[in-house]
Amino acid sequence: MLPRPTPPRTYWADRSILAVLIASTAWLSLTLARGPGELAAIWVGNGILTGWLLSRRTATWPGYVLVAFVAELPARMLTGDQALYAVAMAACNLLEALIVAGAVRRLVPDTRDPRNWMRLGGIATASTLLAAAAAGVLAAGLAHTLNAQPFLPALGSWFAAHVVGMVVVATMTLVALRERRRLFVAPGRRWDLVATLALIVAVTTGVFLNAYAVLFLAYPPLLLVAVRHRLVGAALGVIALALVAAIATTLGYGPLWQQGLGDTGRIAVIQLYIAGGCLLTIPVCLAMAERDRLAARLRDSERRYRMLADHSHDAITRVRADGERTYVSPSATEMLGWQPDEMQGSHWAIVHPDDRERLREAMADALDTGQPRTDIYRLRHKDGQYVWVEAVSRAIPADDGSDRIDLMITARDVSRRVAAEQALEEIRRELERQSRVDALTDLANRRQFDERLSLACRRLQRHGNPIALLCLDIDHFKGINDGHGHATGDIVLQAFGKRLCDSVRDTDLVARLGGDEFVILLEDAAPASAETVARKILGAMARPVEAGDVQLTVRTSIGIACTAQPIDPATLLAQADTALYVAKNAGRNRYHVAAVTS
């Protein structure tokens, strides 16, 4: 994300502020250097320019660079620099600022995002060291050529002054341009920031008005402001420390005058002192920024999770291994009628008694394997009825930092789905029954008979259990239909089927094959047993069948085929049918036993 463009009405104001800052800080730094042509102990102008460029669009950089260059020249000449030397040094400063700003802009386009700050810190540090070294070589060469300064001391002074100034001031400029008035007037910040900065100034002033070497005493307040106000506090604190140290030392105060140091030595010590403050605070600020970023991500994650949990139609529950609920989402109220706090704790009573043991086993399995599993069970609604839920159980770490493993159970109401599935299953069973049952007599139909006969023949072949098959039809049934109507015929068929069922065992099969054709399958039945059943049926048919106002005498003919030897089902049925026609041809109302051949 690139910086927002500067509005046209603030165009000249923006550049004017930059010009004033560059000119004033350059004059102050050069004045404290105590001599025309000498390099400053700390140079802040490049940090200001770098921060300014990084907060503006890249296309506008040429204008800001020109303003900074022009503003630095009069400040240098006012402090005694020759025109050529001033132009050359201003050009070196521009080179340094452009190297750092260009590297950061290319590698970290969005400096506002806290997620990039750790990377930004590394790139900014590396580019600052490289830029200060490159510009320092040029500047030291110019200082040596034009002002006869020793090359290596000049290079060291430039490098130290510019690295410290860039690290501190560029950061402060970026923060100040982003925060603007909020830097000092934001709620909870104004007086606390002013107080901690005042503490730094007071302690540093005391340190540098003291003849004893107790420079370290200024570092604790500096660390305090960095911890409380992050990069803003660190940058302002280091600037305050640097200004007090430089001004006091320039005026002849402080422990640096008691050590027999020359001007170069005092400058080097001040630079090390400021660098120490940077090394103490900037890593802390970056670590605190990373901690804040992680905490913000955690808060955002918790907020999103809470929003999803609170507004999801699914009920979300956190359950310990012993079954105690430690969290129940508000959606449970819509599903079960209970308030979340009413469901917390160990309340197995809301689980249907038939499902409790299965639910315990499911929870134990999810905890043992660590794999999610889905179960369907019933929970009691507050009004007493049971609700079918589909629940997904997942093992999750405990929320108290212990090694305990909990379960997160996400449940949804599937009562309608279960009811629909049960209805469909009932329909399926009914369709299956109808496909195997005769609709008129409620006896087995041909499909079921064929299946049972096939099974009986396989058992006969495997175990040698004898079977008997009786084929029956109603004598002169066509006359009943023609003379009394099909409704009466249906009543006769129903009565006939019932009397057949009453004449056999519960394990025997009575089936209607169609029309007035019936069969009876007897398993584990000897021929004598089959004949007994046939005589019983003939006796049952002696009673008239009442069909409305009419009493009808119904007779039947029976063909019997019995075998104890393996046989094909079709063959057995054909032989029983043949026996039936023998009985019919013999005068009806009787049975005939076939001589079975396999």
Distance CA 384, CA 202 (A): 73
Question: Quick check: is 516 catalytic?
Answer: yes
Residues with Cβ within 8 Å of residue 569, at least 6 apart in sequence: 450, 453, 454, 457
Q: Name residue 319's beta-bridge partners.
A: 325, 407
Contacts for 10-19: CB closer than 8 Å, 24+ residues apart: 15/63, 15/64, 15/67, 18/48, 18/49, 18/52, 18/64, 18/67, 18/68, 18/71, 19/67, 19/68, 19/70, 19/71
User: How is the chain split among helix, strand and coil, in percent rounded to 5?
Assistant: 65, 15, 25
Given 508, 516, 524, 568, which residue is catalytic? 516
Spatial separation of the C-alpha atoms in residues 21 and 188, rounded to whole Å: 28
SS3 56: coil
φ, ψ (nearest 5 deg) of residue 291 = -65, -40
Contacts of 384 (CB under 8 A, 6+ apart): none
If you search the block for the tokens 């003379």, which residue do you land on?
483
Q: What is the Cα–Cα distance from 309 to 315, expressed in whole angstroms?
A: 8
What does the DSSP assignment read for 481-495? HHHH-HHHHHHHHHH
Give SS3 for 241: helix
Residues 322, 323, 329, 334: what is their CA dihedral angle, to the nearest 10 degrees? -170
Compute CA distances 305 → 300, 327, 329, 394, 522, whole Å.
8, 13, 11, 16, 68
For 268, other C-beta atoms within 10 Å of its C-beta total 18
Tell me the C-alpha distance between 517 and 467, whole Å: 20
Question: Residue 497: which H helix or E strand, with range?
Answer: helix 486-502
Catalytically active residues, by annotation? 516
